[in-house]
């Protein structure tokens, strides 16, 4: 019989809630909600989470806890990734959330983030070991080589889309200098994965990958090619946000991630020696609820 669990991810682009019914290795979504806070871009500029974003985060997490309770989740696990990891005031933010929202946030490591992402992607992606896993968010990119349910190589790269937008002052349309600086910076960081052992395929997860997939594949085909990513890279740098939204059928916040996102995936595909990647609709939150159902992860607060 399926059991209901909830996980919320305080990510670098969005704060995202998943409530799922877990039955064995399957997780069926009962509720999937997100709020765009752009913490990765904000923290990259300011070095901290400002009071206004703290207040928004508290409000969102209060709502998420209520949703988890209404759907009778056995527990709610809330975790934070790169933007919160690097924010100078993350201890104060986490304590304020605990005090005012009654929610405990666990600050997970990049490796743990990769482990949960890997587990989540197995729901809809055939395992072809060894697999290269790429998960790009607003603050960082997690890259891992996975084999026999283990991570053999892993790197956390400062290549989140919000961080790149802030660091290089990306505008839409972008200037040739902006694009050149962006490409060089991404290429330099991507080389940190050059020592990974060979992989047979690449699986991409996370909101940035899903944004590119929806933009490039309204037909639902989950295989993205290098040529398609190159088209997104070429088009996104030349167009204003409203035209990107109309052409690719994405919202404005997501439209701004297409250029840096395509750049990161193109460079990492080159480093991993692959020309295609398989998109998974699941990832770190699904991995978390699967771990909760297996008794390997304890909810940090009861829903």
pLDDT tens digits along 131-153: 999 999 999 999 999 998 799 99
What mean pLDDT comes out for the span 94-113? 96
Q: Please determine, for residue 303, whether its predicted confidence score (pLDDT) is greater than 90.
A: no
- The predicted pLDDT at position 302 comes to 64
Number of H-type helices and E-type strands within the chain: 13, 11
Q: Is residue 117 part of a domain?
A: no
Question: Do 102 and 131 have their domain in common?
Answer: no
Q: Is residue 115 part of a domain?
A: no
pTM for this structure? Answer: 0.94
Which of 269, 124, 117, 132 has the alpha carbon at shortest distance from 200? 132
SS3 state at 302: coil
The Cα diameter of the chain in Å comes to: 57
Q: Which CATH number does the domain housing residue 273 bear?
A: 3.30.420.150
- The predicted pLDDT at position 25 comes to 87
Determine the structural domain holding residue 14 and report its residue range.
Answer: 3-110+284-293
Q: Which CATH number does the domain housing residue 33 bear?
A: 3.30.420.40
Which of 3, 2, 6, 22 has the alpha carbon at shortest distance from 67? 6
CB 216 within 8 A of CB 224: yes
Distance in angstroms (rounded) separating the CA atoms of residues 38 and 10:
10
Burial class (CB in 10 A: 0-12, 13-18, 19+), 178: middle
Distance in angstroms (rounded) separating the CA atoms of residues 178 and 168:
6
Q: What is the domain count for the chain?
A: 2
Q: Is residue 104 part of a domain?
A: yes
- The predicted pLDDT at position 291 comes to 96
Question: Do 143 and 191 have their domain in common?
Answer: yes
Q: Please determine, for residue 95, whether its predicted confidence score (pLDDT) is greater than 70.
A: yes
pLDDT digits (tens, 9 = 90+) for 196-241: 999 999 999 999 999 999 999 999 999 999 999 999 999 999 999 9
Q: Is residue 232 part of a domain?
A: yes
Q: Which two tokens stand for residue 199?
A: 């992989």
Question: Do 257 and 198 have their domain in common?
Answer: yes
Question: Do 228 and 253 have their domain in common?
Answer: yes
- Structure confidence at residue 258 as a pLDDT band (50, 70, 90): very high
Which of 230, 276, 236 has the alpha carbon at shortest distance from 254? 236
Question: Do 135 and 273 have their domain in common?
Answer: yes
Q: Is residue 300 part of a domain?
A: no
Q: Is residue 219 part of a domain?
A: yes
Question: Do 171 and 101 have their domain in common?
Answer: no
- The predicted pLDDT at position 301 comes to 67
Q: Is residue 89 part of a domain?
A: yes
pLDDT digits (tens, 9 = 90+) for 4-24: 999 999 999 999 999 999 998
pLDDT digits (tens, 9 = 90+) for 31-85: 999 999 999 999 999 999 999 999 999 999 999 999 999 999 999 999 999 999 9
- The predicted pLDDT at position 149 comes to 78
């Amino acid at each position: 019989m399926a059991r209901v669990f909830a996980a919320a991810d305080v990510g670098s682009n969005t704060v995202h809630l998943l409530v799922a019914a877990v039955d064995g290795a399957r997780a069926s979504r009962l509720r999937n909600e997100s709020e765009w806070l752009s913490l990765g871009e904000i923290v990259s500029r300011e070095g901290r989470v400002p009071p206004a974003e703290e207040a928004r985060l508290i409000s969102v997490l209060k709502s998420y806890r209520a949703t988890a309770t209404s759907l009778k989740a056995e527990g709610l696990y809330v975790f934070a990734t790169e933007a919160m990891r690097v924010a100078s005031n993350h201890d104060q933010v986490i304590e304020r959330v605990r005090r005012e929202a009654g929610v405990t946030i666990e600050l997970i490591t990049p490796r743990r983030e990769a482990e949960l992402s890997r587990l989540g992607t197995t729901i809809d992606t055939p395992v072809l070991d060894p697999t290269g896993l790429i998960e790009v968010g607003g603050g960082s990119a997690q890259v891992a080589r996975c084999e026999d349910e283990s991570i053999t190589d892993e790197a956390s790269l400062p290549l989140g889309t919000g961080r790149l937008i802030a660091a290089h002052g990306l505008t839409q349309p972008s200037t040739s200098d902006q694009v050149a600086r962006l490409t060089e910076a991404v290429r330099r960081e991507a080389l940190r994965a050059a020592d990974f052992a060979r992989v047979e395929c690449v699986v991409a997860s996370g909101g940035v990958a899903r944004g590119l997939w929806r933009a490039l594949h309204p037909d639902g085909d989950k295989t993205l090619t290098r040529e398609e990513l190159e088209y997104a890279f070429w088009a996104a740098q030349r167009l204003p946000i409203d035209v990107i939204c109309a052409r690719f059928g994405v919202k404005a916040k997501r439209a701004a991630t297409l250029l840096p996102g395509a750049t990161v995936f193109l460079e990492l595909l080159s480093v991993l020696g692959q020309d295609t990647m398989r998109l998974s609709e699941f990832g770190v939150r699904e991995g978390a609820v699967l771990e909760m159902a297996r008794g390997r992860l304890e909810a940090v607060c009861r829903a």
